[in-house]
Amino acid sequence: MTDRRAILVDVVRCVGCQACVEACQEAAGQIPHRADRFDARSFTYLVRRGRSHVRRLCMHCQDPTCVSVCPVKALTKTPQGAVTYDSTRCMGCRYCLMSCPFGVPTYEWSSRLPRVRKCEMCHQRADGPACAEVCPEEATVTGSRPAMIQLARRRQKEAPRKYYPYIYGIKEVGGTDVLFIGPGSPAELGLPTRIKKDPLPRLTRNVLHHVPDVVLFGSVILGGLYWLTNRREIVRRAEGECPKSKEEHD
């Protein structure tokens, strides 16, 4: 059995060229554009922290909370490491958005058939994640998780003055398949630190076990009403921006 794939993000080596962002957008079928947050068209982006550029992307938790709270199994943790999404199963409850400790998933609010959107680690690409393939400085690399941990430790050992002695993702929420090393502590890099070391699904499974089915269906109805209200607001704003016809002026 092959080891799960993981991604190592080396903040020390990142030069902020945005190649990873553009490659991700192209792999997702999006026109390359500047991204500064997670949204329906951007699954990774760079944050400037002092002199460093820190990538944000789905952490692909080893025991994902988003998978544990999904009542219809639209989200799956594959044996290869990626957390994937099946829009044909999704009922739009958006529990995954609320439960993710890293604030990753987003929702297509303006779409008639909205989907949850997030990085899926290019799980359908034979060559693996596009972001790692295009990085000119090997600031983003991919391979088996043990190999990525070994590489991270080797880089830290070879240049101890450049690296803070910690690998983010080994223990966070029970471990993730995206790992970070950098010149400062996780807090200095802007990575979420107020999270537990234990897998969060241990808590969510216990809670959801006691949630009646009527609450699940009620959430769908309320979610639908919220989406309709949001859609009307978007249409109203769009109509307000359009120039009035000659008849309306008369």
For residue 160, what pLDDT is reported? 97
Phi, psi of 156 (to 5 degrees): -65, -40
Spell out a b/e string for 58-82, using b for 16 or more CB atoms within 10 Å of the CB, else e.
bbbbbbbbbbbbbbeebbbbeeebb
Structure-derived torsion over alpha carbons of residues 15, 24, 99, 165, reported in degrees to the nearest 10? -30
For residue 217, what pLDDT is reported? 52
Name the CATH topology of 5-207: Alpha-Beta Plaits (3.30.70)
Q: Tell me the CA end-to-end span of the chain in Å, nearest whole number.
A: 74
CA gap 110, 17 in Å, rounded: 30
For residue 224, what pLDDT is reported? 57
State the burial class of residue 39 (Cβ atoms within 10 Å of its Cβ: 0-12, 13-18, 19+): middle
For residue 210, what pLDDT is reported? 46
pLDDT in tens, the chain (250 residues): 357 899 999 999 999 999 999 999 999 999 889 899 999 999 999 999 999 999 999 999 999 999 999 999 999 999 999 999 999 999 999 999 999 999 999 999 989 999 999 999 999 998 899 999 999 999 999 999 999 999 999 999 999 999 999 999 999 999 999 999 999 999 999 999 988 877 766 555 554 544 444 445 555 555 555 555 565 555 566 556 555 444 444 4
**Model confidence, pTM:** 0.80
Query: Where exactly are the structural domains of the chain?
Result: 5-207, 212-249
For residue 32, what pLDDT is reported? 87
Helices (H), 127-212: 130-134, 145-158, 201-208
